[in-house]
């Protein structure tokens, strides 16, 4: 699978990739317009997609700045997937600094590396931390107050009635455990929503900023989650909250 930051349409029709695409041995995707040209910002933003679509990541050589460095350090901060680093004799490389920040050294005998070892459950501990630094939602102790001040009592009562009415409906359960390798992005989105929105409502814009995703993708998943009965939609302003009353934690092995 290749994640492109530009020129997806041109790449799909080029002779270089055409045969592999026809054989269904290659998938090319992009979170950006398929006709978009190169943009440094887009190239940096695609890092999160490359890492989150992987089971593990290997950095062969990284400088101390630039795209490879930015992607690797962001992955270490977010804890998306295990990060392995190849040893190098380049004293100016950032490989050793990545290990100091939490990555692991890859065996010097690359041809003997066991790919399954890179993604074992032991190495994936902490892959999805219950809470990440910098995540703040309305209502949390350290979140800034809205410009409009506190919510009027009438609005609070109205929202409480909406949530209570939703709870009375037949609850939706989700009980089948899945290994991480088989979990879809939508299912992972639901797991994060249950954790983040069980006791508070958040807007689509806040979710897009927190997850680092395009607003359009967030809206697609929100509509599906509403249709599937996982969320409650509140109005004035529009926000979303996890529907209580029987839903079980989405188990991820």
**HEC sequence for the chain:** CEECCCCHHHHHHCHHHHHHHHCCCCCEECCCCCCCCCCHHHHHHCHHHHHHCCCCEEECCCCCCCHHHHHHHHHHHHCCCCEEECCCCCCCCCHHHHHHCCCEECCCCHHHCCHHHHCCCCCCCCCCCCCCCCCCCCCCCCCCCCCCCCCCHHHHHHHHHHHHHHHHCCCCCCCCCECHHHCCHHHHHHHHHHHHHCCCCECHHHHHHHHCCCHHHHHHHHHHHHHCCCEEEECCCCEEEECCCCCCCCCEC
Question: Per-residue pLDDT for 206 more than 50?
Answer: yes
pLDDT digits (tens, 9 = 90+) for 19-66: 888 888 899 999 989 888 888 888 888 888 888 888 888 898 999 988
| pLDDT for res 183 | 65
Q: What is the mean pLDDT of residues 218-234?
A: 89
Given a cut of 90, whether residue 239 has pLDDT beyond it is yes
Structural domains for the chain: 2-118 (3.40.50.450), 153-242 (1.10.10.10)
Region 94-122 average pLDDT: 75
pLDDT score, position 114: 64
Q: What is the pLDDT of residue 249?
A: 46
Handedness of CA 103, 105, 111, 113 (dihedral sign): negative
Which pLDDT value is given to residue 112?
62
Q: Write down the pLDDT at residue 72.
A: 92
Greatest mean pLDDT among 25-29, 113-117, 182-186 lies in 25-29
Cβ pair 32, 42 in contact under 8 A: yes
pLDDT at residue 236 is higher than 90: no
| 131 pLDDT more than 80 | no
pLDDT digits (tens, 9 = 90+) for 189-204: 888 888 888 888 999 9
The candidate with the shortest Cα–Cα distance to 204, out of 191, 192, 190, 220, is 220
């Amino acid at each position: 699978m290749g994640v492109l930051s530009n020129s997806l349409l041109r790449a799909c029709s080029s002779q270089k990739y055409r045969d592999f695409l026809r054989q269904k041995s290659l998938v090319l995707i992009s979170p950006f317009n398929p006709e978009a040209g190169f943009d440094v910002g887009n190239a940096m933003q695609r890092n999160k997609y490359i890492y989150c679509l992987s089971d593990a990541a290997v950095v062969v050589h990284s400088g101390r700045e630039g795209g490879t460095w930015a992607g690797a350090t962001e992955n270490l901060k977010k804890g998306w997937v295990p990060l392995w680093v190849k040893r190098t004799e380049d004293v100016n490389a950032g490989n050793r600094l990545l290990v100091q920040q939490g990555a692991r050294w890859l065996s010097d005998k690359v041809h003997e590396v066991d790919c399954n070892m890179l993604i074992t459950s032991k190495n994936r501990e902490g892959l999805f931390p219950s809470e990440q630094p910098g995540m703040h939602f309305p209502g949390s102790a350290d979140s800034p107050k809205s410009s409009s001040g506190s919510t009027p009592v009438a609005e609070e009562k109205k929202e409480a009635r909406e949530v209570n009415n939703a709870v009375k409906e037949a609850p939706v359960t989700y009980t089948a455990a899945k290994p991480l390798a088989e979990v879809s992005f939508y299912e992972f989105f639901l797991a994060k929503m249950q954790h983040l929105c069980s006791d508070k409502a958040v807007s689509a814009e806040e979710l897009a900023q927190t997850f680092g995703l395009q607003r359009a993708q967030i809206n697609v998943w929100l509509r599906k989650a509403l249709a599937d009965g996982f969320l409650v939609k509140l109005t004035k302003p529009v926000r979303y909250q996890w529907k209580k009353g029987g839903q079980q934690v989405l188990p991820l092995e």
